[in-house]
Structure 1
Amino acid sequence: MEKKRIKAKLLACVLICILPTTTSFAMDKEDFFRYLINSSYPETNTNEEKESASTKNNDDEKNDNNDNNDDYIKVHIGEENIPTLNSDDNSSKSKEKNESETSLLAEYKDNVRVTSATPRMLIYHTHSCETYSNSPSGNYHSNDPENSVIKIGNLLTTQLTNKGWGVVHNTTIHDNPSYNNSYSNSLKTVKSMLSAYNSVDIAIDLHRDASANVTKETNKNYTTTINGEKVAQICFVVGMKNQNVDEVMKIATDLTNLANEKYPGIAKPVVKKSYGRYNQYVAKNGILIEVGSNAVSIEEASASTKYIADILDSYFK
């Protein structure tokens, strides 16, 4: 890995020296950065590679392998930073963690919690190991459900159920051991859940955003205050390669507008990803929600769930 770093530095110096002036101005910093990543870390994929792979292969599962890497590259560069499930050497902490996990997942059978005989909503997590600021180990990726998007999915399930919705919450881990296969793994889960519960027509992939720098200032960029309470902001993401992209975009836009009408400042603008699909074509209503980021605490993300539930309830009922 050290040789790769040296190679990248040498390559950067050579390119800066030999590239014509017109070329250097034509290539912005992001493009140059992606070039260096590809040269030094062939195990990673940039947007251009993903789009090419997607164009060549129409198989759903193979295409969706490549939907998830852009934000990942910004935080993780090189094999040494690929998220892994963390082991805890302290036995007392391990025991406390296991008890906490058992408490959270007690309502689940085979990673599934169902709150109605005829549920309409499915909540799942393509990046199940995404954690918040309370759990920074593993570069904010670990099997720590009490401080991860799984906990947020659990709370959102409860909030929606309290409003009369039937919900299926699936806690299957899709991003470990292979992060790059996250979307193909979650695609299998979505198809399985839709087959088992044919009353479901709303599929919500619940994530959190990623920030390379976790600071107090970053936290401010992902939180807002509602009714005197500090909560995580939310964001809807749309994969522009979906064949039903118009419908996906309409739902995301409508939900964003409704969210800010009811709770000003809670929703960031819709994020459009030109190279992705994120399994949003599978269900009638495919939604990807990001709740806060790794710079946000689990408490701040949890506080958002009652507002998210109210927004979804108001829109879909």
Structure 2
Amino acid sequence: MLRKAKKIISIACILTFVLPIISYSIDKEEFLKFLIESSYPEASTNNDNSKEEKDKEDKTANNKEKDYIKVHIGEENVPTLNNKSDNKENISVASSEYKNDIRLTKEDPTMLIYHSHAGETYSDSPEGNYHSQNNRDKSVLEVGTLLTEQLSQKGWGVAHSTKYHDYPDFTKSYASSLETVKSMLNNHKNINIAIDLHRDGRDLNTDADMQKENERMTTTYNGEKVAKFFFVVGMKNTNVDEVQELAEDITKFAQSKYPELVLPIVKKQYGKFNQYMAKNHMLIEIGSNGTSSDEAKASVKYVAEILDEYFKQNR
């Protein structure tokens, strides 16, 4: 009891006297780093690459940074593509093809598509600050469903997970998706390409903000307005050189085919995003909350073409 009392007194002293001194004696950037490292062990700047640290969730979570918006998750819905969309590339996929939130286009897939933030929706679904499970046809899940279909038509065996990893706790999204990735890799040994598919998120408070973001994240090909895409690299991965090299190679390849379609790579200094798990692991952002779901879906045929040609040339 005496030991516990001493410990409590010590903590109280730290909270009362030391923390105020720390907060005033270091600049804002250093204090922010202190808070991140204290709250999210994954983000520590210490060079600790132990197995336990490697298996932890990337708790930095993009919603902690200014350019990522807050979330609200609604109730879950059944996965299906909306075949009433004006997008002619839309392909209807029956919900019966998904068992336990997984669809396999071949018995022995080599590619995995999943969504750490499955609740992300586009500009035509503003519910919950562009995060919901109620408008699935206007969400990143439908973009993943379409990408799965496009790649499977090109001969790829694809496993697509439609699990909501950001529900009920958004801050545990990457811990939850890590378990999905581990399970899929254990059950399907030939998967060596993994795609965590997202859409970018910005604070859009006015119509002018929305218009500016739409202009930033769209272009036109063959008379059709399409959403741009880009790669995100977590710089805390032990294999960061390989992750970055892959993103740079595909970006360069995409620029050679569709120069206006792909944006520069975004590097997150305190992130891992589970990118150490697969040989070829990518975090791809297609469109943003400033683009419509149809604009995002319209770009899928180009993204599928790029990925198909790149990996067939670099097997």
TM-score by length of 1: 0.77
| Equivalences for residues 59-138 of structure 1 within 5 A | 59-60=52-53, 63-70=56-63, 74-76=67-69, 82-85=71-74, 105-138=95-128
1:303 aligns with 2:298: yes
| Equivalences for residues 161-180 of structure 1 within 5 A | 161-180=152-171
> Using the alignment, how far apart are the partners of 2:67 and 2:197 within structure 1?
20
Equivalent of residue 203 in structure 2, options 212, 215, 221 = 212
| Equivalences for residues 241-256 of structure 1 within 5 A | 241-256=236-251
Code of the aligned partner of 2:238 = Q
Once the two structures are superposed, what CA deviation does each residue of 1:204-239 show, in whole Å capped at 9, x if it has no partner?
Answer: 000000010151121010111122211100010111
1:187 aligns with 2:181: no
What is the CA distance between 1:55 and its match in structure 2? 6.2
Once the two structures are superposed, what CA deviation does each residue of 1:236-281 show, in whole Å capped at 9, x if it has no partner?
Answer: 0111111111111111001101111101111100111111111110
Is this contact kept in 2: 1:211–1:294, CA < 8 A?
A: yes
The aligned counterpart of 2:15 is: none
> Using the alignment, how far apart are the partners of 1:138 and 1:245 within structure 2?
34
1:202 aligns with 2:207: no
What is the CA distance between 1:56 and its match in structure 2? 7.0
Q: 1:48 to 1:269 in 2, by over 3 A?
A: farther
SS in 2 for 1:123: strand
> Using the alignment, how far apart are the partners of 1:66 and 1:126 within structure 2?
12
1:153 aligns with 2:144: yes
> Using the alignment, how far apart are the partners of 1:75 and 1:250 within structure 2?
25
SS in 1 for 2:238: coil
> Using the alignment, how far apart are the partners of 2:149 and 2:56 within structure 1?
33
> Using the alignment, how far apart are the partners of 1:246 and 1:127 within structure 2?
25
* Percent identity of equivalent pairs: 45
> Using the alignment, how far apart are the partners of 1:114 and 1:217 within structure 2?
38
Greater displacement, 160-169 / 98-107: 98-107
Q: CA RMSD in A?
A: 3.2
Q: 1:263 to 1:161 in 2, by over 3 A?
A: same
SS in 2 for 1:181: helix
Q: 1:159 to 1:252 in 2, by over 3 A?
A: same
Is this contact kept in 2: 1:104–1:151, CA < 8 A?
A: no
Code of the aligned partner of 1:229 = E
The aligned counterpart of 2:3 is: none
> Using the alignment, how far apart are the partners of 1:163 and 1:262 within structure 2?
18
1:236 aligns with 2:231: yes
Tell me which protein shows more helix as a share of its residues: 1
1:52 aligns with 2:47: no
What is the CA distance between 1:57 and its match in structure 2? 8.7
Code of the aligned partner of 2:246 = I
Greater displacement, 214-223 / 185-194: 214-223
> Using the alignment, how far apart are the partners of 1:313 and 1:209 within structure 2?
23
